[in-house]
Amino acid sequence: MAEGVLPAQVIRELIAGGAISLEAPLAPGQVQPASLDLRLGTVAYRVRASFLAGKGRTVAERISEFGMHRIDLTEGAVLEKGCVYLVPLMESLALPEGVSAVANAKSSTGRLDLLTRTIIDQGTEFDRIPEGYQGPLYAEICPRSFSVLVRPGMRLNQLRLRQGEAQLSDEALRALHAATPLVDGEPVISAGLGFSVDLQPAEGDLVGYRAKPHTGVIDLDRIGAYDPAEFWEEIRTREGRIILDPGAFYILVSREAVTIPPDHAAEMAPYIAMVGEFRVHYAGFFDPGFGHAEAGGAGSRGVLEVRCHEAPFVLEHGQVVGRLVYEKMREVPDVLYGQGIASNYQGQGLKLSKHFR
């Protein structure tokens, strides 16, 4: 059987065959070109700390150990900044042998600094689901910058399924770039495709946004509803550099315009820690067709979600801050990113989440 990331049509087959179980009927747009959006269930548990179930333990057992109180989400509930919550998801798995899965926050989730990770029974890693796993899925949610209002059915994270080995070697990545340019310039290829930060925009001096520390609640169902000035401070420079403040959260943009060919997918990985005192990007999946001309993209920049750690750090224009790991699709999806589906970030530049006008 062919190896690679499973496309939308195969995900729908897995749902029909019971390998992916749903508590509620599939929602429109829930199946993406190379991933499945996961939906919040009807309850949340406020817990004392983040945790993994660990071998031989279920998440439910750990909730009984670390849970503080149970929250009914059916009428909507606020998840408060700085707290940790666990929400059982509407989807559960009975993966066939040979099929594994990886989860990640959706783009809009990451752009709100909403740390959202998937955990499973007997799990020893966040967001990693081994082949053959049978059991429930849970979202761990920790709002870092803004308190948020959530309801059942909201989709904060997503699942990508793989059969066998899918990741491209650097040699294969160079060959792919030669055949279909992946960036608009000379590629930096080492354990994936390197990308850098843009701090010298072609027009103006706006290079990013920094989250304000004391803001109101964001209702995740309200699209285009919020004034950015109430939640974000604009970051401007004409010097080609900025200083990151410890503990602050920034939205920046990559210098490179990226393309994901229709027969490939990609995941954005944080760059090695030796580069500096910061982490880049919570949301990591790039679907087939992102930035691709046939899907209306013609190159799309990667939005960078940056959190500075212990010390102030000078970030320079063109500094490499992360990498895209490319994977082959098992088949080309029957729909591409930006093509007949609600794709909010095709052809993007520097852009806040879809909740801001």
Residue ranges covered by each domain of the chain: 4-163, 170-328
pLDDT of residue 302: 83
Q: Is 62 helix (H, G, I), strand (E, B) or coil?
A: helix
Q: How many Cβ atoms are within 10 Å of 190's Cβ, its own excluded? A: 11
pLDDT of residue 307: 87
Which residue is associated with the tokens 């899965």? Answer: 101
pLDDT of residue 344: 47
**Amino acid (1-letter code) at residue 339:** Q
Q: How far apart are CA 19 and CA 133, in angstroms?
A: 10
Q: How far apart are CA 106 and CA 100, in angstroms?
A: 19
What pLDDT, in 10s, does the model give residues 96-122?
999 999 999 998 898 999 999 999 999
- 226 - beta bridge partners? 356
Name residues whose C-beta falls within 8 Å of residue 164's C-beta, 6 or more positions apart in sequence: 1, 3, 4, 98
List the single range of 135-149, 177-191, 271-285, 341-355 with lowest mean pLDDT: 271-285
- Total-model pTM: 0.92
pLDDT of residue 277: 59
Give the strand pairing for 77-79 and 99-105.
Answer: unpaired
Q: Is 72 helix (H, G, I), strand (E, B) or coil?
A: strand
- Closest by alpha carbon to 99, among 57, 132, 64? 132
- Closest by alpha carbon to 63, among 78, 81, 50, 82? 50
Pick the CATH number of 4-163 from 3.40.250.10, 3.30.160.40, 3.40.50.300, 2.70.40.10: 2.70.40.10
pLDDT of residue 320: 85
> 170-328: which CATH topology?
Deoxyuridine 5'-Triphosphate Nucleotidohydrolase; Chain A (2.70.40)
- 101 - beta bridge partners? 129, 161
Q: For residue 195, name the pLDDT band (cuts at 50, 70, 90).
A: confident
Does the fold of domain 170-328 match that of domain 4-163?
yes
pLDDT of residue 354: 92
Residue 201: phi and psi, rounded to 5, are -65, 150
Name residues whose C-beta falls within 8 Å of residue 28's C-beta, 6 or more positions apart in sequence: none
What pLDDT, in 10s, does the model give residues 233-246?
999 999 999 999 99
Q: How far apart are CA 19 and CA 22, in angstroms?
A: 10
Interval 132-141 mean pLDDT? 97
Q: What share of the chain is helix, strand, coil (3-state, %, to 5)?
A: 10, 40, 45
Average pLDDT value for the chain: 90
